[in-house]
Amino acid sequence: MSLHSDPVKGLLLSASVLFASFPVLGHGARVVWEVQGDSIHISAAFDDGLPMDRAQVTVFSATEPSEPYISGMTDENGEFAFLPDIEQSLSWDVQVRKAGHGDMVHFSLAEESEDFIEQRGLTTLQIILMSACVVWGFIGTALFFASKRKGQNAHS
């Protein structure tokens, strides 16, 4: 039986390991994110570079951190996209898991370009008002031409 062998050898082993101490992350997964247009694009891969295809994705917002905002699956390239509700939160956490491997990425859109915030930041009221303005623009143009024609008819 080899267990509980010579303690002197044990000390030597410990010493050799101390010399060999090294940081190890081991196998694992890596999730990265980026803004693409008005959505967030997630890309997940194992440490060996293979995509985490058909992996389970769960998205959380900072305002409701324990309730998933949206769940889904990566495609065959380990990719997933979602539209964040930036009225709800600017900070997001995305978890990707497959076969005992998993990783979580945390990011804030506060540092993102104002274009993105503006693009995704319109409230329902703002959208209604902007639509009303466009419609009103058409009505105004029509009224302008109608009044012009009326003026021409009056002259003739």
Q: Is 90 in the site for other proteins (CB under 8 A)?
A: yes
Instruction: Say whether residue 138 binds other proteins (CB under 8 A).
Output: no
Longest alpha-carbon distance in the chain: 119
Q: Could you tell me which stretch among 21-29, 33-41, 73-81, 148-156 binds other proteins (CB under 8 A)?
A: 21-29
Strand partners, 68: 60
Query: Positive or negative CA dihedral for 99, 70, 40, 91?
Result: negative
Tell me how far, at minimum, the Cβ of 137 lies from other proteins, in Å.
9
Nearest alpha-carbon partner for 111 in 35, 42, 44, 30: 35
- Contact between 17 and other proteins by CB under 8 A: the answer reads yes
Residue 151 in contact with other proteins, rule: CB under 8 A? no
Structural contact between residues 96 and 102, judged by C-beta atoms closer than 8 angstroms: yes
Of 50 and 83, the one with the shorter C-beta distance to other proteins is 50
Which helix (H) or strand (E) covers residue 78, if one does?
A: none
Contact map string, positions 50 to 89, toward other proteins, x by CB under 8 A: x---------x-xx-xx-------------------xxxx
On whether the CB atoms of residues 99 and 71 are closer than 8 A, the answer is no
The least distance separating other proteins from the CB of residue 117, rounded to whole angstroms, comes to 9
85 vs 18: CA distance, rounded Å: 50
Distance of CA 55 to the CA centre of its chain: 15
Binding test (CB under 8 A) with other proteins, winner from 133, 141, 148, 149: 133
Task: Please choose, out of 9-17, 36-44, 73-81, 148-156, the segment that lies near other proteins by the rule CB under 8 A.
Answer: 9-17
